[in-house]
Amino acid sequence: MVKKKSISLLSLKIGFRSLKKNIGQFLAIILIGAISMTLFVGLLSNAQAFGKQIDDTFARGNLPDLFVTCSQVEEEDRRAIDEIIGDDGEIEERIYLPCKIGNHDAYAVVTDSLPQISKPYEIIEQSEEHSENHYALLDYGWMYKQEPIKSDKYELNDVFYLTVDMTSLGYADKLTKLEPILEGYVNEDGENVVKDLDLSIPMEVTGFMNHPENITKANYNPAVVLLSFDVFRNALVTTFRDNYNSTGELMLRQMLMNKLGEDFFTCEKLPYHNQILIRLKDPSLAETYRDRIKEYFNGKKEDNLLLLTKKPELPFSLTYYTARTEARQFPYGFPAVFFFVAILVILTTLSQLILKDRTKIGTMKALGMTKQEILRSYLFISILVVGLGILFGEILGPLIIPGILGQKYSLLYTLPKRTCQFPVAGGILSAIFFLGVSLLVTYLVARKEIALKPVDSMRPSIPKFKEVKHAEKKSKVTGLSLRMALRNIRLSLGKSIMVIVGILGCTALLVCGFGLEDTVNYGLDHDVKMFMSADVHVSFASSMGSDEVLNSFEDIEGIEKIELYRKMQCTFSLEEGNQTTKLLYVVSSYDSHIKLDIPKDGVILSNKIARTIGCKTGDTILMQVGSTLYEAELVGTFDAFYYNCAVLPFDSPVFQGEPEKYNGAWVDCKEGYTREETAARIQDSLSFVTGSFAKESMSSNIKDVMSSILVMTNAVKVFALLLAIVVLYNFARLNFHERMRDIATLKVLGFQKREIGLTLMFEIVSLTFAGVLFGLFAGYPFMLLVLKTNIVEIVDYLYHISLLSYFAAFLFTFVVAFLMNLYFSNKTKKIPMVESLKSIE
């Protein structure tokens, strides 16, 4: 009997010899485990890092739990809300003023001093004039001049123009009557600054900030401009004084004081507010306090409440909650399938390696090793190989994946710098699950083999055949190779099924990876045809009347047709529920450049808006533009990828009584004139034009915006391709080593290398074909799962996979499988004949 110490040493030697002999197979297992764990743990880390960024932002910015927006906050409202909240929270008041800066939507927040609720979580840069009570802060990510060619970007101490739509403050009727009168009081070197009902107020930038109400980049959402009362008031006084004589200035002051307060221009503290912010000690009570506040306003004789919203219902907050939920769900869609495919392949490999060691197990038992010692040697190999793959994945995942997806978040959000987060619970649980399943299968398979008597273990497993009658006609080599391949599949049916499932998963991953890019490109092409049919897209500095605009365009060469439109930032909602802020287009023609059926009555919404607010055809849609609330019946919805908006005609009853004005135009060029030249000519000729872009430039800009999403899709494709290559290599190698005895037998019988190679090729190609066929069908629903757990706020996916992508996935899988088997077929010459054929009796 071999001594105990010698047995343990022998067990260790046998284990390392097995590792050395099957090094290629074990490296494949390590790679598969590392790739799958890198993706899975990396996405868990990304969700954790993104969530921490958001939580830090909202905590540092002290974001309120309730927003109470009124036409005007009255003294009794302030007292009533203060009594309702009591000691359970804190309250602040401010002016909330929708506006524009250049051609971009924004809203100004006016306070007496720097706020304590909904405050900047970071002031990036400030001038010497900046103080606690004197400030004009712009969003850093949106307004900071990083490229000098962009005229709508600013630096410290630059002057910017805050353009307020006076109709949103309820001054439409008064200004319509007052505007022609004011023309007579304009200074010699001044201008009528309330022309077209827009008031442009010049201010000087005192600093740049990051604000919790605009974590989304302002290209897609309104920017925040934080103003002190003295800066806002002094800018108004200076604007009136520079452009009108004393009589005109007095008329405008009086008009504003009627709404903003009689002492607006003389008092020290802000006399007018239209929004109350409430920060609760216990945010879970927000719904309770909202009901009590709503009950108070409903009991008033004149209800001045416009909106009463909880933090999660606001557009900027809804974007965050959606993105955070998606980040948490994403690891359990695509990566989960990835993860289970990897486990399946590893289990197949480990079980086949143990079965291949049947005679070796018999030898170890004959040498006196106990069943437990033999079992431990195989468990040790599993722990070592699978554990290394897990370790690499756990380390690489948090380092690689958050960095890739961080490019997407940096495009969509303005957030504090992210830190590397290791998902302790998720990482440990996934490692335990991965390793536990591997050890369980190793234990079950090894236990079955170890249970045999040594004499049985040392004999190769004898396959069982059903009696089949064969024709006496001599078969061709191809027929024999095919029959041998089918025989091998039938004999190892369990392994064959696992191979098919593994290839199915790889093919589905490939189809999904290609389909993600197809969906983005299809959406871009759809929107270009639907919303960008015009040759040139023009935007104005402020809203203008149609006659004035058309007269200005008359002298510009190369223009065939002009269609005016008005684009407004609008908050859509039903009476209760979620809100979303998107663009509202008011078009001047029913034969519009927007290729939709423009309704004469009612409004049409993109499907994304309709889903977000939970509306259906026939519902009454509330549309908040500034402080003006419109209502319209939903008469239809439409597909859109990037241009998720609402469309109304210029003569809609919704705008009855309002002056017809526009802030943009779609232009078609005459034959012989290029789009780029016409766009440049319009930009150079008209001072009120802030942007003039050819169709190609607009399309290119959208593609730049989508670049971060394509980063994600490319990452998915790369991981899918890597896994497919490693899995197919692993299966080919496994199949080759499993068939070494058959190959040696065929060589002894005189078969050539080509004939032997065909046998291997037929087997793997048959399994590959079955796996690919099922995988192609599974690719589309798999892509839906991935995209539905990775929704991006700025787009609405129009799901599409091209035939070319299906063909590419099919071709890639087959080509890789063919090359791998071709490689191993060429190794038939190196098979050790004696070792492969010997049978210990």
Looking at residue 753, its pLDDT comes to: 65
Residue-by-residue DSSP string for 696-707 = HHHHHHHHHHTH
Segment 326-349, tens digit of pLDDT:
677 777 766 666 667 667 777 767
Euclidean distance between CA atoms 306 and 71, whole angstroms: 6
Percent of the chain residues past pLDDT 90, beyond the cut: 16
Looking at residue 13, its pLDDT comes to: 67
The one-letter amino acid code at 579 reads Q
- The mean-pLDDT minimum among 203-207, 559-563, 734-738 falls in 734-738
Angle at which helices 371-412 and 707-738 cross, to 10° = 160
| Residue positions counted in the chain | 841
Contact status, residue 272 vs residue 261, Cβ threshold 8 Å: yes
CA atoms within 13 A on the CB side of 59: 7
Longest dimension (CA), the chain: 119
With 50 as the cut, is the pLDDT of residue 468 above it? Answer: no
Contact status, residue 64 vs residue 279, Cβ threshold 8 Å: yes
Contact status, residue 161 vs residue 202, Cβ threshold 8 Å: yes
Segment 253-276, tens digit of pLDDT:
888 887 777 788 888 888 888 899
Q: Write out 459-498 in H/E/C secondary structure.
A: CCCCCCCCCCCCCCCCCCHHHHHHHHHHHHHHHCHHHHHH
- The mean-pLDDT minimum among 109-118, 271-280, 318-327, 460-469 falls in 460-469
- State mean pLDDT over 730-750: 68
Q: Looking at the DSSP assignment, which residues form a beta bridge with residue 89?
A: 280
Q: Write out 312-377 in H/E/C secondary structure.
A: HHCHHHHHHHHHHHHHHHHHHCHHHHHHHHHHHHHHHHHHHHHHHCHHHHHHHHHCCCCHHHHHHH
Token pair 């699978």 is found at: 386
569 confidence band (pLDDT: 50, 70, 90) = confident
Average pLDDT, the chain: 79
- State mean pLDDT over 404-417: 75
Looking at residue 719, its pLDDT comes to: 74
Looking at residue 748, its pLDDT comes to: 65
- State mean pLDDT over 482-502: 72
Euclidean distance between CA atoms 31 and 386, whole angstroms: 9
Looking at residue 438, its pLDDT comes to: 80
Looking at residue 424, its pLDDT comes to: 86
With 80 as the cut, is the pLDDT of residue 24 above it? Answer: no
Is residue 391 classed as helix, strand or coil in its secondary structure? helix
Percent of the chain residues past pLDDT 70, beyond the cut: 76
Q: Cβ atoms within 10 A of the Cβ of 789, count?
A: 18
Question: What sign has the CA pseudo-torsion 364, 365, 370, 374?
Answer: positive
Euclidean distance between CA atoms 721 and 513, whole angstroms: 9
Segment 692-701, tens digit of pLDDT:
888 887 777 6
- The mean-pLDDT minimum among 47-56, 72-81, 318-327 falls in 318-327
- State mean pLDDT over 80-90: 92
Euclidean distance between CA atoms 389 and 239, whole angstroms: 68
With 70 as the cut, is the pLDDT of residue 357 above it? Answer: no
Contact status, residue 405 vs residue 712, Cβ threshold 8 Å: yes
- Per residue in 73-100, is it b (16+ CB within 10 Å) or e — as a string? beeebeebbeebbeeebebbbbbbbbbb
Euclidean distance between CA atoms 50 and 406, whole angstroms: 9
Looking at residue 444, its pLDDT comes to: 78
Euclidean distance between CA atoms 523 and 641, whole angstroms: 5
Euclidean distance between CA atoms 178 and 176, whole angstroms: 6
The residue among 318, 449, 317, 440 whose CA lies nearest residue 371 is 449
Looking at residue 585, its pLDDT comes to: 92
Q: Write out 234-301 in H/E/C secondary structure.
A: HHHHHHHHHHECHHHHHHHHHHHHHHHCCCCCCCCCCCCCCEEEEEECCHHHHHHHHHHHHHHHHCCC
Q: Which H/E stretch holds residue 539?
A: strand 536-544
With 60 as the cut, is the pLDDT of residue 4 above it? Answer: no
Retrieve residue 26's tokens: 């074990």
Strands (DSSP E) found in 63-218:
66-70, 89-101, 104-111, 122-126, 136-139, 159-165, 198-204, 207-210
- The mean-pLDDT minimum among 337-346, 510-519, 829-838 falls in 829-838
